[in-house]
Amino acid sequence: MSTASYTVVGMTCGHCVSAVTEEVGGLPGVTDVAVDLASGGLTVTSDTPLDDDAVRAAVEEAGYEVAGR
């Protein structure tokens, strides 16, 4: 099991949280997604090794971006 944390930029409401949760939660192996609107925190848990680029792409697909690289 692996867990990774990210900071998502641009979320302003509950719909934003839902969009990110849905996109990231659809990635292969992902078992849990926790998003904190106030901090922009995103924690992803997977039963397989996480593909960092895939997580970033899913966040972008939801319409937001991951801070830093």
**What six digits make up the tokens of 40?**
């922009």
Residue 69: per-residue pLDDT: 59
Q: Which domains does the chain possess? A: 2-66 (3.30.70.100)
Convert the pLDDT of each residue in 38-49 to its tens digit: 999 999 999 999
Examine the pLDDT at 68 and tell me if it is beyond 80: no
**What six digits make up the tokens of 69?**
């690289």
- Report residue 22: phi and psi, to 5°: -65, -45
Examine the pLDDT at 51 and tell me if it is beyond 70: yes
Distances (CA, A) of 3 to 30, 36, 52: 9, 16, 11
Residue 39: per-residue pLDDT: 96
Q: The whole model's pTM is what? A: 0.93
**What six digits make up the tokens of 54?**
């895939």
Convert the pLDDT of each residue in 8-38 to its tens digit: 999 999 999 999 999 999 999 999 999 999 9
